[in-house]
Amino acid sequence: MRRSGRHQIRREEWGIHPDEGRRGRRGWRGRRRRVRAVLVAGSVAVGLLLTACSGDGSDGSSYDRGGSKARDDNGFPAPGPVRPTGPSGTDDGTAESDQKGEVRESAPPADYLSTFALDVDTASYGYARRTLEEGRRPDPTTVRPEEFINSFGQEQDYERPDGDGFTVTVDGARTAAADPSRGEEDANSDTFGQENRDWRFLRVGLATREAEDAGERPPAALTFVIDVSGSMAEPGRLDLVRQSLGVMTDQLRDDDSVALVSFSDEARTVLPMTRLGDNRGRIHDAIDTLEPTDSTNLGAGVTTGYRTAVDGLREGATNRVVLLSDALANTGETDADAILDRISDARREHGITLFGVGVGSDYGDALMERLADKGDGHTTYVSNAADARTVFCDQLPRNIDLTARDAKAQVSFDPETVEQFRLIGYDNRQVADEDFRDDRVDGGEIGPGHTVTALYAVRVRPGASGHVATATVRWLDPDSRTPHESTGQIEAGSLDGGLWGAETARSGLQVTAIAAYFADALRSGGGGGAAAPVPPSLRELADRADELASNTESKPIRQLAETIDRAVDLA
């Protein structure tokens, strides 16, 4: 069951927890303080970050100061200051280790806000699939849970808006079987133990309008920046890129335009911006000339690509750079931020966004992801012809248009009903809470046909009822830059259903949970038992995925089940 509607959240001046391991913190402007490590149920799996923890409730006034005023003003509790639950060691709650060695930025007091930039990347899951198919476990640093989750956007049942912007769906379920001794009805036969009895999964689903038919969208001006370095000679790299570009050339409209830039140790414009019209043969000939040569000067390729895009800029069209590479940069500028500085004017003045397509068994995941995140775009990964057809014939046409710029989400949890919560993933997409409505702070660029899912593990207070959380998404109109917001809410009773019931299978919540559990297992070694809520084993997870695939007859879920089976074999 879900709750939706509109509600304006009163802006409060609260910060976020800048975890030591998080990269790319956006908009952090707070004063310097010491970082507190936060404990959840004694220990937390390596892969899942604790977004915030409440106190133990012994200081009741800490909730009254924030919650009562917000209830008077807005009708529901806003975050109130609470006592920190950091490690012991000092009077102020900081760990002893924080007073020795390096000086760190610190976190403000624990709060009940979670704020992040929207992200529709899927490359992490695609690369993990490829790696497991080759009989290797992926490097844990390449596993980003939100990209596993968002790889199954088409399996979600979120309602979609009629125009630009988002709908907000908030729902969830308990992660363990009901306990009759506590007056709870046993909705199904969950197997993950009573240690999880107070934990819930809370899902925030954001959806844009359906993608328009190809004839209804604005024309596109696409500059393809193609890696022709020596590493691209491996089967499944440049040959796959050429094949994909050829198929896509036949799919685009006559009034679309294409430019081609290739790079190895240097970059060159192979084809200036060219209308397709009667020029498809010319474009195919240019694609056929692409051959692997020397080293990888990715910085030169991106810079030349953006210069070519600006030279061929079309008013009234969607102008986008598409980077196709294994991102194994080894010549010239190899730092993502330095590369982005070179193209900052083109991005800011002309709104040219970047779409990164990764290929290859060895893949520079971190560089590609950083470029796309900071380049107002996103990434995906292709490992075979079927993946490439999906990306270039299905996904890319959807991603040509934009429905929202600088989109961010903020979830406000009610301290009267929520004891602890954490956002699963989005580690490097965090935004300072006070910057949620600062439209100068970068968010995510989202197109039609997209869904974005944020999954929270929430520990509710025993016997809690009433409001649990309010989720708000804020974005700018892609043309006028006018800000808009949509909001959804949920109450405790809507989280009492079992995770593995028929309704959650139909809604997409089960595949969301499976994808999140799987990502955590890959990041933490697959042992299970350390995270809160306690996860199933990989074998249990594989069985759940197999059952869900059979019930839904979904090809992507079947692929997920097979991928988990491979991970079981390698465990």
pLDDT digits (tens, 9 = 90+) for 525-558: 754 444 567 888 999 999 999 999 999 999 999 9
The secondary structure of 241-258, three-state, reads HHHHHHHHHHHCCCCCEE
Q: Provide the CB-side half-sphere exposure for 503 (13 A, CA).
A: 13
Q: What SS3 state is found at 16?
A: coil
Separation CA 138–CA 527 (nearest Å):
15
pTM for the model: 0.77
Separation CA 258–CA 256 (nearest Å):
7
Alpha helices in 154-237 (DSSP H): none
Alpha helices in 185-322 (DSSP H): 238-251, 280-288, 298-311
Give every CB contact of residue 226 below 8 A, 6+ residues apart in sequence: 238, 241, 245, 260, 261, 262, 263, 290, 301, 324, 325
Helix H or strand E segment including 398? helix 396-400
Separation CA 78–CA 162 (nearest Å):
30
Lateral strand order in the sheet of 220-227 = 267-275, 257-263, 220-227, 318-325, 353-358, 378-381
pLDDT for position 286: 97
pLDDT for position 9: 34
Tell me how far apart the 2 most distant CA atoms of the chain are, in Å.
Answer: 75
Give per-residue burial for 154-192: e unless 16+ CB within 10 Å, then b: ebbebeeeeebbbbbbbbbbbbbbbeeeeeeeebbebeb
Separation CA 413–CA 419 (nearest Å):
9
Written as six digits, the tokens of 115 are: 């704020």
Give 444: exposed, middle or buried? Use CB within 10 Å, 0-12, 13-18, 19+.
buried
Q: What share of the chain is helix, strand, coil (3-state, %, to 5)?
A: 35, 20, 45
Written as six digits, the tokens of 513 are: 């949970």
Cβ atoms of 101 and 41 closer than 8 Å: no
Task: Give CA 40 to chain center in angstroms.
Answer: 23
Q: What does the DSSP assignment read for 502-570?
A: HHHHHHTHHHHHHHHHHHHHHHHTS--SSSSSPPPPHHHHHHHHHHHHHHHT-HHHHHHHHHHHHHHHH
Partners of 170 in the beta sheet?
Answer: 3, 204
Partners of 207 in the beta sheet?
Answer: 167, 451
pLDDT for position 214: 62
Instruction: Say which amino acid occupies 180.
Output: P
Q: What is the pLDDT of residues 351-361, one digit of tens each?
A: 888 999 999 88
Long-range contacts of 88-95 (CB under 8 A, 24+ apart): 93/36, 94/34, 94/35, 94/36, 95/36, 95/37
Per-residue model confidence as pLDDT tens for the chain (571 residues) = 444 443 333 333 222 333 333 333 333 333 333 333 333 333 333 333 333 333 333 333 222 222 333 333 333 333 333 322 323 333 333 333 333 333 223 333 358 999 999 999 999 999 999 999 999 999 999 999 999 999 999 999 999 998 889 999 999 999 875 444 444 454 444 444 556 788 999 999 999 998 876 667 889 999 999 999 998 998 889 999 999 899 889 889 999 999 999 999 999 999 999 999 999 999 999 999 999 988 999 999 999 999 999 999 998 888 999 999 999 998 888 888 899 888 887 777 888 889 999 998 889 999 999 888 877 788 999 988 888 888 888 777 666 788 899 999 999 999 999 999 999 999 999 999 999 999 999 999 998 889 999 999 999 999 999 999 999 999 999 889 999 999 999 999 999 999 998 889 999 999 999 999 999 999 987 544 445 678 889 999 999 999 999 999 999 999 999 999 999 999 8
Question: Among candidates 444, 414, 417, which has minimal Cα distance to 428?
Answer: 444
